[in-house]
Chain A
Amino acid sequence: MTLEATPETDLPVELVTLTIDDVEVSVPKGTLVIRAAELIGVEIPRFCDHPLLEPVGACRQCMVDIPDAGNGRGFPKPQASCTIEVAPGMVVNTQVTSPVAEKAQQGTLEFLLINHPLDCPVCDKGGECPLQNQAMTHGRGESRFVETKRTFPKPIEVSKQVLLDRERCVLCQRCTRFSEEIAGDPFIALVERGANQQIGIGPDEPFESYFSGNTIQICPVGALTSSDYRFRSRPFDLVSTPSIAEHDSSGSAIRVDHRRGKVMRRLAGDDPEVNEEWITDKDRFAFTYATQGDRLRTPLVRNADGELEPASWPAALAVAAQGLKAAGAKTGVLTGGRLTLEDAFAYSVFARVALGTNDIDFRARAHSAEEADFLASQVAGTGLGVTFASLEQASTVALVGLEPEDEAGVVFLRLRKAARKHGVKVVSVASHTTRGLSKMFGTLVPTVPGREADAVAGLELDGRSVVLVGERLATSPGAFSAVVAAAAKAGARVAWVPRRAGDRGAVEAGCLPGLLPGGRQVGDAEARADVAASLGVETLPSAQGRDTAGIVQGVATGGLKALVIAGVELDDLPDPVAARVALRKADFVVSLEVRESEVTQAADVVLPVAPMVERPGSFVSWEGRRRSFDAVLDEPNSLTDIRVLAGIAEELGRPLGFRTVAAARAALDELGTWDGARAAAPTVAAAQPAAAKQQVVLDTWRQLIDDGRGQDGQAEYHATARRAVIRASEATFKAFDVEPGDTATLSTESGSVSWPTEVADLPDGVVWAPGNSGVNLTALGVPRGGLVTLKPGGAQ
C-alpha cells in the first residue's frame, strides 16, 4: 500500500494492491472488485450494479472466483464482484481466466433470459440494451429453455410518463433503488415474490417524481419506457449529440438524439462534476417547445394596415435599423432567460455600441437595485466559485429564497446526496417545510416572505458553510445585504442560484443597467475604456441605465421611444399590465423570438431566431462554469440572435465586431474579466412590512413542472406535475373560514386565483401558491411578499 494524492481533494488516498486475472493493480481502498477489474480492461457483466447506487448483489451476474481473499483463504463459492471490496493481496479470477466464473455468469444469464420475451425487434431498448449486449458477449448462444415463459398483461402505467413492461424486467431494482436513494421518491417498489415478483406502485400513488425519467435510462432492459418515446425510433437510427440542458441554471450535461432532422429524445449525460448521471424530467422531456405550430420561420414587418407580413431578411433588418435609428439611445433592451452567454454578450454590446444606451436588463421577473448591486459585487466576473462538489464538502448549506427541487433539480439531488452520505446540514430560510427539504433531511428556519434579512442574520454559519441564494430574494428588501454580511462574518461562501439557464451568463455579459461584460461597472471610467478599446469604439455610454421596471416605465412616460425584446414572456414580468401598455405605447418594437408570443404580436418587426438545438452556444451555470454546446440540427436558414443583431448593427453603421457565436465568444474571452475595483456589496436595511388586517402575505415560487412555455407540447410530462394548492397553517385557514382541503381564493384588486388548500407549517398569516401552475400569479399584481385576500370557495 502506498499513499498518493489525488488532484481533486489533495487528500492522501490509501491504495490497495490486488491481482485480477494475473494482472497486479492498485486501486483506492474501498473500491469494489467489479470496478477494479474495469481498470485492467476487464468488463464483468452486470445488471443491478450501478456506480452511483448502493451495492445490492441481487442479479448475481457479476460472479467471479476469488481463490484468495487476501488472507490466504479463498471463497469456496464464486462471489458477486459488485458487493466485494478489494483487499490487499486478494486474487480475483474473472470470466477471462476462470471457467468457474465463466460458467456462473453464463448460468445466471441463461436464467435471466428464460422469462425474458424475445421481442427485441420491437423493443425500444433493442440495439442499446445491456441485456442484449451481455447475452451476446457472455451468454450461451442457444437457450436450453423450451418450457413456458411467465407473461404479464402489458404495459402498465407507473405514471403517465413512465410505462412498465413487466415481462421484460430482470428485477435488478435499479429503478427502485434510484427512486429511494437518489431522488427520495420511493413511489415504486417490488411487489409479489418469486417469478411473479414485479415492480409496482401503490393504489392511487403514481410514480410522480421530478426525476422519474432517470429510471428509464438506467433500466438495463426495455422494461421502463417513456410514453412519448415508446416505439418511436430505433437506437441505431439516432444521431447523438452531447449538449447542455436549458431548463435551469445547473448546466446539466445531456445527450440529444435526433433522426432525420427531428429530436426524438434526450438523455442525461455523464458528468461527475455537475449532474453525475441524473437530470430532471424537465430537462429530459421538455424539448418539443420549438416544434410547436407557432414557430416563427420568416421575418415579419408591420405594414401600413397594421398587419404583420412576411419580409425578406435584408428588408426586415433595414426596417428594424431604421426604426431603432429614429429612437437612438432612447431604446430599452429587455432580454430573457432563453439567451446563451454569447447571445447575452451580443445584446450587451448592441445596447452600448449600436444603440448607445445602458437601458438593458435581463431580469424578466421581480428585481431590485439591491439585487443588481449584489450581482455586481458578488457574482459578475467571479468565475468558478461554489461548485457541486463543494456542496458535498460543506458543513452547512443554507438555502435562502431557493427551493432547489423545483428550481434547480440537480442541485437538490446533490444536496440530498451531501446530507445522506456526508452528513451535510441543510437549512432553509423559507416559509414552510417542503417535500424537497424533508428529502434533504433539512431544517426549516420559518420565515415570513420579505423578512429573510432577519432570519439570515440568525443563521449559524462557519468557514465551511455555503449559502445558496435564489432570485426571489429580490422581493425581500435587505435580504441580499444580510446574506453578504452574514457570510462575511462567518467566512462562509455565497452562490447565487437563479432559476433560468441564461441568467448567470447575462450577468457575465453585462445585460444589466449598471454592469458591462466581465464584471465591469458602467460607473467606472477605467472599466468603460477597457471595454470600448476591446470593442474598437471610442466611448461607451456612461450614464447608469434603467432596469426592467424602469424601461417599462420609461416607455410609459415617454423617456424611451423603442424597445428591443428577446426571450421575454410578458406574464413573467413583475407588472404584465404595465408592460402591455408600454408595448402599445412604444413607437417601435423589435422582437427577436423563436415562437410567437404576446411580444411578437405587438412588435413592429419580428425577427425569427434559432432555438437551442439549431445553434451552438454556452450557458454559464450557477457555479460559474461555462457549459458550451454545439448545434444538434444543421439548419442553415436558422439564424442566431447574434447574427441578427449584427445585421441590424451593420445597417445602423455601428457593427458589433462579430457575427457568429464563435466570434462573439472570442471577443468576450479577449475582453476577459475585470481585475480592477469591484462594486461594493449592497447594504440595504431590512424593511418592516406593515401587517394588514384581513389580508395574508403571499409566498410563491414556480414548481418544476408548470406552464412555462419551454415545456409546451408534452402532455404526459405535464400529467406528472404536482397538484397546484394553496398552503397555509391550520390557524390561518381557520381565521379565514377556509376548510383545509376545500377550494380557496386569493385575490387582489388586479385578479384572483383559486386552488384546493393544504395545511403546511407556514407562519400564521402567510399563504403559499405556485407561481405558474394553471395561472401566472403575476396576474395578482403583487409581488411575492405582498398582501392578498384569502377567502373560502372558488372565484366568483
Chain B
Amino acid sequence: MTDTLTPVLTDDWADDRAWTLEAYRTRGGYSVLEQALKTKPADLVEQVKDSGLRGRGGAGFPTGMKWSFIPQDNPKPKYLVVNADESEPGTCKDIPLMMASPHKLIEGVIIASHAIGAKHAFIYVRGEVLHVIRRLRAACREAYEAGLLGQDILGTGVNVDLVIHAGAGAYICGEETALLDSLEGLRGQPRLRPPFPAVEGLYACPTVINNVESIASVPSIVREGKDWFAGLGTEKSKGYVIYSLSGHVKTPGQYEAPLGITLRELIDLGGGMREGSELKFWTPGGSSTPLLTAEHLDIPLDYEGVGSVGSMLGTRALQIFDQTTSVVRCVLRWTEFYKHESCGKCTPCREGTFWLTQILQRLDSGQGQEGDIELLLDLCDNILGRSFCALGDGATSPITSAIQYFRDEFEAGMHTASHELFPPAASTLFKQEATV
C-alpha cells in the first residue's frame, strides 16, 4: 500500500535536522528558486493555474486564479499573507509542516510573492505554537543570511521581505479577513466583503491570502512541472495533500497522498482501527465539516467526492471515532469550542453557540427535554447562512449531521447520561484502575 503515498511536503520530515537550510538544500531545496524568480510573474501564475492547485485551507479555491485577481495596475503595494493560524479541531498539517520543513514554506512564499508582485509577505502563525514560531523565525533568519530573502534575491532583482507574525490565539483569525485585521493590530473580527482582499486587503492594498500547504506546494510545481502535479489526484482535485488521521486508529499521523484516496485506504495505511474498534463516525475535514459514518468509507477524499455526500473536504482532518464514543458528548465538546471561539461580532454565532451549548449539556447529562432535538435543529437553521462568516455555519455542521445519523443517541439524552451509555474509560488505551 505504500505506493499510494506521495511524500512531497513530508518527504524530509524524518531527516536529521530537516528544518535547517543545509538539510533542505541537500534535498534540492531552493534549487529552482533562481529560475522561478527569472520567470515572468504572469507565467508563474499561469503555471500554478494549469497545475490545478486548489486552496488547502478548506474552501478549495483555485490558487492560481486567486493570484490572477490581484490588479497589477493598482499602484498600491501588494501583499502575500500566509494563513498559518491552523486551529480547526482535528487539523494538524501546517503546524508539523512548519516545524519539520519551514524552508519549503519560505521558498513557496518567495515564489508566490514574485508571482503576484508582492515585496512584503507575512506568515500569520497561531499564537499558541511558540515552538513553531521560533523555528520559522530561525529559518527566516537563515534565508535572509543566505540572500534568499531581502533585496535582490540571488541577483535576480526580486525583493521580498518576510515577517513572521504571531497571532494571539483566536480561532476566528483563521478567517482571512479577521486575520488581516489582527495582522493590522486591530481586534480580529471578520470584515465586510466587498471589498475583497484581492482589491483591498491588508492596509487596504491588494492582498493574496493562502494556506501554508498551498504555498508550500508551489516549489514542487515549479520544480517538477505543472503536468506532474496535475497528473496526481483526480479530475477536478489535482495534486497531493496531507491527510491528518487521528482518533481510534492504530497509527495516527500525517499521511501525504494524492487527492481522491479513500478513508478505507487511509485507515489501512494507519494500521487499521484499534484492537476491538469499529468505525462509528468520522469527520472529513475537521469539526466544521458534517460528520460521516462507516457507509462513506469508500468515497474518494477529494473536493467533489466529499461534497457529494453532503460534507466538505475541508482541511482533511480525519478524526476517527469508534463505537465507544458518545456522539452527543463529542458534539457538545465541539460546540463548547465554538462557543469559546465565537468572536462575538454577529448575533447568530455569538448567541446561538451560547444557547446550543446549554441544550447539549442537558442532553449529555441525560436531562434532555422533549423537543430539544427539534430545537437544536431549528437553532442551527437560524444560524446556518445567517451568521456573518463561515465559522457560524461550521458550528452547526456537527450538530445537524450528528442528529441525522445518530438521532437515537440524542433521544437517549432525554433520560440517560452519555457517560452511562458510553463510559469514557472504554475509549482509553491505558489500563483502568479499579474504582469503587
Residues of chain A at the chain B interface (Cβ within 8 Å)? 55-61, 63, 76-78, 83, 103-104, 107-108, 110-112, 114-115, 144-145, 147-148, 150, 170-171, 189-190, 192-197
User: In the assembly, what is the distance between CA of A171 and CA of B388, in Å?
Assistant: 14
Contacts of A61 in B (CB 8 A): 347
- Given contacts A115-B354, A147-B358, whether A194 and B385 have CB atoms under 8 Å apart is no
Contacts of A112 in B (CB 8 A): 347, 351
Q: Which of B170, B347, B359, B387 contacts A193 (CB under 8 A)?
A: B170
Say how far A176's CB is from chain B's closest CB, in angstroms: 10
Taking a contact as CB atoms under 8 Å apart, the answer to whether B346 and A104 are in contact is no
Q: Which of B340, B354, B385 contacts A76 (CB under 8 A)?
A: B385
Taking a contact as CB atoms under 8 Å apart, the answer to whether A114 and B355 are in contact is yes
Say how far A303's CB is from chain B's closest CB, in angstroms: 69
**What are 7 pairs between A and B in contact, CB < 8 Å?**
A58-B347, A108-B386, A110-B382, A111-B355, A112-B351, A147-B359, A171-B347
Contacts of A194 in B (CB 8 A): 339-344, 350, 353-354
Say how far B158's CB is from chain A's closest CB, in angstroms: 35
Contacting A at CB under 8 A, from B340-393, are 340-348, 350-355, 358-359, 375, 378-379, 381-388
Taking a contact as CB atoms under 8 Å apart, the answer to whether A77 and B354 are in contact is no
User: In the assembly, what is the distance between CA of A219 and CA of B277, in Å?
Assistant: 56
Taking a contact as CB atoms under 8 Å apart, the answer to whether A60 and B353 are in contact is no
User: In the assembly, what is the distance between CA of A345 and CA of B189, in Å?
Assistant: 58
By secondary structure, the A interface counts as loop
Q: Which of A55, A108, A150, A196 contacts B382 (CB under 8 A)?
A: A108
User: In the assembly, what is the distance between CA of A726 and CA of B187, in Å?
Assistant: 36
| Closest A residue, CB atoms, query B339 | A194
Taking a contact as CB atoms under 8 Å apart, the answer to whether B342 and A193 are in contact is yes
Q: Which of B187, B354, B359, B385 contacts A195 (CB under 8 A)?
A: B354
Contacts of B378 in A (CB 8 A): 107
User: In the assembly, what is the distance between CA of A193 and CA of B340, in Å?
Assistant: 8
Say how far A37's CB is from chain B's closest CB, in angstroms: 18
Known pairs A55-B192, A61-B347, A111-B352. 19 more at Cβ < 8 A? A58-B347, A59-B347, A60-B387, A63-B386, A78-B385, A104-B386, A107-B379, A107-B383, A107-B386, A111-B355, A112-B347, A112-B351, A114-B355, A189-B187, A190-B344, A193-B172, A193-B341, A193-B342, A194-B353
Q: What interface size band does chain B fall in?
A: 20 to 34
| Closest A residue, CB atoms, query B186 | A189
User: In the assembly, what is the distance between CA of A58 and CA of B190, in Å?
Assistant: 10
Taking a contact as CB atoms under 8 Å apart, the answer to whether B382 and A78 are in contact is no
| Closest A residue, CB atoms, query B193 | A83
Taking a contact as CB atoms under 8 Å apart, the answer to whether A60 and B348 are in contact is yes
Taking a contact as CB atoms under 8 Å apart, the answer to whether A111 and B340 are in contact is no
Taking a contact as CB atoms under 8 Å apart, the answer to whether B344 and A111 are in contact is no
Interface centre among B172, B344, B355 (most CB of A within 10 A): B344
| Closest B residue, CB atoms, query A77 | B385
Residues of chain B at the chain A interface (Cβ within 8 Å)? 170, 172, 187, 189, 192, 339-348, 350-355, 358-359, 375, 378-379, 381-388
Contacts of A111 in B (CB 8 A): 347-348, 350-352, 355, 382
Say how far B399's CB is from chain A's closest CB, in angstroms: 15
Q: Which of A77, A148, A193 contacts B344 (CB under 8 A)?
A: A193
- Given contacts A78-B386, A103-B382, A112-B347, whether A56 and B192 have CB atoms under 8 Å apart is yes
Interface centre among B340, B348, B358 (most CB of A within 10 A): B348
User: In the assembly, what is the distance between CA of A190 and CA of B172, in Å?
Assistant: 15
> What are the nearest 7 A-B pairs in CB distance?
A107-B382, A197-B344, A77-B385, A111-B351, A147-B358, A194-B342, A195-B354
Interface centre among B187, B192, B345 (most CB of A within 10 A): B345
| Closest B residue, CB atoms, query A194 | B342
Taking a contact as CB atoms under 8 Å apart, the answer to whether B192 and A195 are in contact is no
- Given contacts A107-B382, A144-B375, whether A195 and B388 have CB atoms under 8 Å apart is no
Contacts of A192 in B (CB 8 A): 344
User: In the assembly, what is the distance between CA of A112 and CA of B351, in Å?
Assistant: 7
| Closest A residue, CB atoms, query B340 | A194
Taking a contact as CB atoms under 8 Å apart, the answer to whether B342 and A147 are in contact is no
Taking a contact as CB atoms under 8 Å apart, the answer to whether B347 and A195 are in contact is no
User: In the assembly, what is the distance between CA of A107 and CA of B353, in Å?
Assistant: 13
Contacts of A110 in B (CB 8 A): 382
User: In the assembly, what is the distance between CA of A724 and CA of B346, in Å?
Assistant: 41
Taking a contact as CB atoms under 8 Å apart, the answer to whether B346 and A58 are in contact is yes
Contacts of A103 in B (CB 8 A): 381-382
User: In the assembly, what is the distance between CA of A117 and CA of B170, in Å?
Assistant: 29
Taking a contact as CB atoms under 8 Å apart, the answer to whether B354 and A114 are in contact is yes
User: In the assembly, what is the distance between CA of A113 and CA of B232, in Å?
Assistant: 52
Contacts of B346 in A (CB 8 A): 57-60
Taking a contact as CB atoms under 8 Å apart, the answer to whether B388 and A60 are in contact is yes
Contacts of A56 in B (CB 8 A): 192
- Given contacts A144-B375, A189-B187, A194-B341, whether A115 and B351 have CB atoms under 8 Å apart is yes
Contacts of B355 in A (CB 8 A): 111, 114, 145, 147
Contacts of B359 in A (CB 8 A): 147
Taking a contact as CB atoms under 8 Å apart, the answer to whether A195 and B351 are in contact is yes
Interface centre among A56, A171, A194 (most CB of B within 10 A): A194
Say how far A311's CB is from chain B's closest CB, in angstroms: 65
| Closest A residue, CB atoms, query B382 | A107
User: In the assembly, what is the distance between CA of A195 and CA of B359, in Å?
Assistant: 16
User: In the assembly, what is the distance between CA of A195 and CA of B344, in Å?
Assistant: 6
Say how far B213's CB is from chain A's closest CB, in angstroms: 27
User: In the assembly, what is the distance between CA of A190 and CA of B343, in Å?
Assistant: 10
User: In the assembly, what is the distance between CA of A773 and CA of B387, in Å?
Assistant: 49
Say how far A752's CB is from chain B's closest CB, in angstroms: 45
Interface centre among A111, A112, A114, A192 (most CB of B within 10 A): A111
Contacts of A171 in B (CB 8 A): 344-345, 347, 350
Taking a contact as CB atoms under 8 Å apart, the answer to whether B353 and A58 are in contact is no
Taking a contact as CB atoms under 8 Å apart, the answer to whether B385 and A170 are in contact is no
Contacts of B353 in A (CB 8 A): 194-195
- Given contacts A189-B187, A194-B350, whether A58 and B388 have CB atoms under 8 Å apart is yes
Say how far B377's CB is from chain A's closest CB, in angstroms: 12
Q: Which of A104, A114, A148, A190 contacts B351 (CB under 8 A)?
A: A114
Say how far B344's CB is from chain A's closest CB, in angstroms: 3
Taking a contact as CB atoms under 8 Å apart, the answer to whether B386 and A77 are in contact is yes
User: In the assembly, what is the distance between CA of A214 and CA of B15, in Å?
Assistant: 64
